[in-house]
Structure 1
């Protein structure tokens, strides 16, 4: 699945270059000094794009979609943690929550995302940072919904979103290799392709074709990084997205530390 993402202040410039006619719903208030790693369970604000009346809009929405049936604080607390990701297999199932909001499509603007790999013989799971090979940013398709309950402090109906995931390609199968949701990845494509997702005239057949896309392995760049789900600084003083050399880390495709035997 996808629970760890990254973006920076450069994201705003990327959006305005890509969409010069973008309409910002509000002045951005995100503290970009804290967005090199954003965890889904924190319900932090991220930058999303969507269309309204044929025009592209940019907004700050919280990660972790709040559906209309979550109309009490108790229901939000119980179910929101499950709504960070939307499985593409369920989008067009008429009984699913996603089907009801399939016209509320958005794009989440990132520089990259993190996924964890399990290796026998290494205590900690190894995080990898993944990005597009030749692009500074990616647009991940998702859905948005406005909370049915007003924000306690502002009284606003806050926007919330979920990211679409699909079966992993050959690269991501080797990285996301553990857990009940292993071998999955965000729905990825080049930004110009992804922009079609927020067209208001998409049919269900268009949606089906769109989410079936699998990005080629060669369009992704990746590297192992230091533990990201911590407030402690890295031993080498570098940033969350910088490559880190883990001791005895085997190549992708080998999920167990191979001990080197002495020749003597």
Structure 2
């Protein structure tokens, strides 16, 4: 009798194991899918309205959600379930982008790296949303649609704002809107200058100072690297930024072949850079007074 009971028990255990082998993956898949659904729902609610303290986190989460729940090949599910989860994931991504767009008044779509660069620059310069908007209006005023008097006044205000205006100027570097021909002398172009070019020159002259055009090949900053350079040094004061930029420029000239460094032209240029560097290293140097500071002259 006991043998029969043991046989029955073993048969039941075997059936349970076989059932488990086929049912457990489906069960675990269901649990995981419910977990994914809940997580996406929670994130959508959490980041549908962004405050300053979680803006960067929202951009980081945007990147995470873009790669979230991508089933591996052979994953047990159905096309209907996968389509529903993918739709929910896209809804969550769209909610993140909409919230970031509302918070910043910018639109980088689903490009999380662009959002992060924008937010980290703004945070490093401790700008409020209202200040960002005011500086944006000043940049808009550089357009040829406005009078030259208004455009010049706007540029003057952007210069006076010093480092605080940098985030907005960086964000507008690719603005192709035409500005006034009067700005032609301050940008490196033979065409009608754009707002982006004027923004770049405001940034470069404030950081590197005004150089002779024949020295342009030794500039540290250009359109391709200025955003990264400023972000890397955003916690520095403007004076410190200038010291770093001039040091790098001096090193760039000194790295040229010896016969070129020994030329009269190179020696004069090195003297020019070293004089500028000595000037800003003087005790009491005040970059807040443009009329006394050759770096801010236009």
TM-score range relative to shorter protein: under 0.3
Q: TM-score, normalised by structure 2?
A: 0.23
**Higher RCO (C-alpha under 8 Å, 6+ residues apart):** 1
Q: Which has the higher helix share?
A: 2
